[in-house]
Every structure is written in structure tokens, then in C-alpha cells.
Amino acid sequence: MSTSDSRGQMVLHITEQDAERVRMELGLPNAVLDGENETLKRDGFVVSQDGVFYVIQLEPEYDPGRFKVGFTTDLDDRLRKHRCSAPHSIVLRSWVCKSLWEKTAIDCVTVGCDRLHTEVFRTASIDDVIGRCERFFELMPK
């Protein structure tokens, strides 16, 4: 079946009643769309939410090209946790972001960087990374 939501593509779907039976069989909670934030909630767990995407410089004085990027709903708490292992960490910039954008943002803004860990990278120019972040988030819906 092709629908307006599928942009002309053929899609298969099941009814809401069948989806409920599948969730019950698998022991999954019901999904509820929270209209205020337009986030999918499952028994109190938020699947997608609004927050910020950040660039944290881990060792500004000794290794200025090493940085961490990611998504959080509480930037102060995230920085506090990073300071346990990198006490001189500083937030360089942050942008309003949906959690679903995180992996795409990371892939886009770290092009040409060396991956040191999951979300930790090294670059020759942190300003280039910030510039790619600026361009990425200019394109995203407000």
C-alpha cells in the first residue's frame, strides 16, 4: 500500500490491534505519543527527546584537538561526569538537538577526525569541527 506518509513508496503495515498483540506477546509496554514534546514514551521511558548536542574539549591545554561529542538532556551533569576522568574539560558549544539526530550529527561533524573511542575524537582543527556543527544544525528543523 502507498500512503501520503510513505512518499509514494510501497509499505506494509499491521493494524494497531495487531501491533498491540505483538507488544503483549513480546512483553513490551504500550507506546504513547506525548503531544507536548512530540516524544514517544513507553511506560515512563522516553524513546526520543529534546536536549542538546555538545562539543566538549577534554584536555584544552595539553591535547586541544581531543574532543567528545554527543547528546544530553542535562549538559551540566554530563560535564560533571566527564570531569571525573578529564578534570579540565570544557564545553565549547552546544546546539538544540533531538536524540534521534545524535548519530547522524556525530558522523557529519567528525569527518576527517581520528576516532579514539565511541564519541571521542582527535582533530587538527577544533574550529573546523565547530564549523561543521554550525552548518549541520542550521539545516535541522528548529
Q: What is the pLDDT of residue 36?
A: 35
Q: What is the pLDDT of residue 25?
A: 73
End-to-end CA distance of the chain: 32
Based on the domain organization, do 80 and 113 belong to the same domain?
A: yes
Q: What is the pLDDT of residue 71?
A: 95
Residues whose CB is less than 8 angstroms from the CB of residue 132 and which lie 6 or more positions away in sequence, other chains included: 108, 109, 111
Based on the domain organization, do 30 and 70 belong to the same domain?
A: no
Based on the domain organization, do 37 and 95 belong to the same domain?
A: no
Based on the domain organization, do 74 and 117 belong to the same domain?
A: yes
Based on the domain organization, do 12 and 82 belong to the same domain?
A: no
Q: What is the pLDDT of residue 142?
A: 82
Of the candidates 25, 43, 26, the one whose C-alpha atom is nearest the C-alpha of residue 34 is 43
Could you tell me the residue range of the domain that residue 61 belongs to?
50-139
What pTM, to 2 d.p., does this model score? 0.67
Based on the domain organization, do 18 and 83 belong to the same domain?
A: no
Which pLDDT tens digits describe the chain residue by residue (142 residues)?
A: 555 556 666 767 777 777 777 767 776 655 544 433 334 555 555 556 899 999 999 999 999 999 999 999 999 999 999 899 899 999 999 999 999 999 999 999 999 999 999 999 999 999 999 999 999 999 998 8
Q: What is the pLDDT of residue 133?
A: 98
Based on the domain organization, do 77 and 38 belong to the same domain?
A: no
Based on the domain organization, do 119 and 55 belong to the same domain?
A: yes
Based on the domain organization, do 110 and 41 belong to the same domain?
A: no
Q: What is the pLDDT of residue 37?
A: 34
Q: What is the pLDDT of residue 18?
A: 77
Based on the domain organization, do 36 and 93 belong to the same domain?
A: no
Based on the domain organization, do 119 and 80 belong to the same domain?
A: yes
Q: What DSSP string describes 68-118? A: EEEEES-HHHHHHHHTTT-TT-EEEEEEEEEGGGHHHHHHHHTTTPEE-SS
Based on the domain organization, do 23 and 35 belong to the same domain?
A: yes
When divided into structural domains, the chain yields a total of 2
Of the residues 46, 62, 79, the one at which a domain ends: 46
Of the candidates 42, 50, 131, 51, the one whose C-alpha atom is nearest the C-alpha of residue 92 is 131
